[in-house]
Amino acid sequence: MAHAPTSARGGVITGWGIAVPDKVVTNDDLATRMDTNDAWIVERTGIRERHIGGTTSGLAIEAGRAALERAGRRPDEIDAVVLATTTPDQIVPGTSASVQNGLGIAGGAFDVNAACSGFVYGLTVAHGLLATGAERVLLVGAETLSKITDWDDRSIAVLVGDGAGAVVIEAVDGPGQLLSWQLGADGSLRHLLECDHGGYLSMAGKEVFRKAVRVVVESSEAALAEVGLSAADVDVFVPHQANLRIISAACERLGIPEERAVVVIDRYGNTSSASIPLALVDALDAGRISPGDHVLLSGFGGGMTWASAVLRWGG
Ligand code: UT7
């Protein structure tokens, strides 16, 4: 089921930024410590390198600061920090509290954990805050997946990366950028992708792959249909960056030309909640998104969860 906002107040993204650790790990670097190789990783995933290191709060603060600067906003003008992460620094408190403190933000702070769908979940939550009176929200997707990765397990280690992306969303009178959204979850599939306290990520790769393509297509189509749009209306597609083959398959089934999809997985690997904002910011900085463009965001991940949102840029 998809939804279109009914509030008289919408939101507009006014600033954006990213942060990635300095350390770059190439496929060849990984091949020196496990039984893998650059050709397999590139062909099966599209990943060439990833950034590894830092803390989730540290990366989130750096990305958040860049987004605030770009928006021309001071931290004391922000009403809430929404941090999408599946790798918090601690179980308690929420890592968003460290982001609030690190940036000196005046308002509230909370974490959203919807795995790799987290940023789009957070986007809808942020719009809910704006609709109910907040003026400005800092939304961040930040992860240090390297901390929950077994670096001797090639089935996971070649996939993950660390990083963060952030946006400032400001309230406007009228509809704003968010045209529609669709959120979904199926907890009966939690065993497909999971990590216990103190443990490592494990994934049933093939099953996740198949389900991912299906839910991205269904969720995207539902969000588009909610506002009378189709794939042909999508100017820029910002999918979760888990595997280039998933992005290609989703584009093909949706009927979105692949050149309209933003791909950053080659440089960052799979950064879970950070992957959609890393891709969105990449497209914005490259001048790929113009006022009036329809931008489709779509994520999927552990839970399983999935989430799509349609934005009309500008405002
Ligand atoms: O963000 C959250 C959601 N996550 C995802 O969406 C990930 C979804 N799944 C995938 O992206 C893919 O399933 C993987 C990239 C994880 C794996 O690709 P695959 O095409 O499903 O490969 P596979 O697991 O079927 O493995 C094929 C072969 C196997 O060897 P045999 O049995 O054919 O001899 C594996 O043992 O590749 C072997 N293999 C590797 N070889 C070199 C598996 N991992 C590696 C590796 N390097 N890292």
CA of 158 to the centre of ligand 1 (A): 10
Q: Give pLDDT tens digits for 21-52.
A: 999 999 999 999 999 999 999 999 999 999 99
Q: Give pLDDT tens digits for 225-251.
A: 999 999 999 999 999 999 999 999 999
**Stretch 91-102: mean pLDDT:** 98
**Stretch 106-133: mean pLDDT:** 97
Does this model's pTM top 0.95? My answer is yes
Report whether residue 288 contacts ligand 1, using a CB cutoff of 6 Å. Answer: no
Report whether residue 36 contacts ligand 1, using a CB cutoff of 6 Å. Answer: yes
Mutate to test the pocket of ligand 1, among 32, 35, 36, 44 (most ligand atoms within 8 A of CB): 44
Looking at residue 196, its pLDDT comes to: 97
CA of 34 to the centre of ligand 1 (A): 14
Per-domain boundaries in the chain? 2-172, 178-312
CA distance 122 to 127: 9
List residues with catalytic annotation: 116, 240, 270
pLDDT averaged over every residue in the chain: 97
Report whether residue 275 contacts ligand 1, using a CB cutoff of 6 Å. Answer: no
CA of 310 to the centre of ligand 1 (A): 31
Looking at residue 315, its pLDDT comes to: 64
Residue nearest to atom 41 of ligand 1 (CA): 36
Residue 147's pLDDT band (boundaries 50, 70, 90)? very high
Q: In CATH terms, are 2-172 and 178-312 the same topology?
A: yes
Report whether residue 301 contacts ligand 1, using a CB cutoff of 6 Å. Answer: yes
CA of 105 to the centre of ligand 1 (A): 42
Nearest Cα to Cα of residue 27 among 294, 269, 287: 269
Report whether residue 205 contacts ligand 1, using a CB cutoff of 6 Å. Answer: yes
CATH of 2-172, one of 3.90.400.10, 3.40.640.10, 3.40.47.10, 3.30.70.270: 3.40.47.10
If DSSP codes are grouped into helix, strand and coil, which group holds residue 236?
strand
Residue nearest to atom 35 of ligand 1 (CA): 155
The answer, yes or no, to whether residue 224 has pLDDT greater than 70, is yes
Q: Give pLDDT tens digits for 254-277.
A: 999 999 999 999 999 999 999 999
Residue nearest to atom 1 of ligand 1 (CA): 242
Report whether residue 304 contacts ligand 1, using a CB cutoff of 6 Å. Answer: no
Q: To the nearest 10°, report the CA torsion of 298, 30, 55, 238.
A: -10
CATH 2.60.40.1510 fits 178-312, yes or no: no
Residue nearest to atom 36 of ligand 1 (CA): 155
Determine the length of the chain: 315
**Stretch 274-295: mean pLDDT:** 98
**Stretch 132-150: mean pLDDT:** 98
Looking at residue 109, its pLDDT comes to: 98
Residue 6's pLDDT band (boundaries 50, 70, 90)? confident
Write out the DSSP string of 148-193: G--TT-HHHHTTB-EEEEEEEEEEEEB--SEEEEEEEE-GGGGGGE
**Stretch 43-69: mean pLDDT:** 98
Q: What percentage of the chain reaches a pLDDT higher than 70?
A: 100
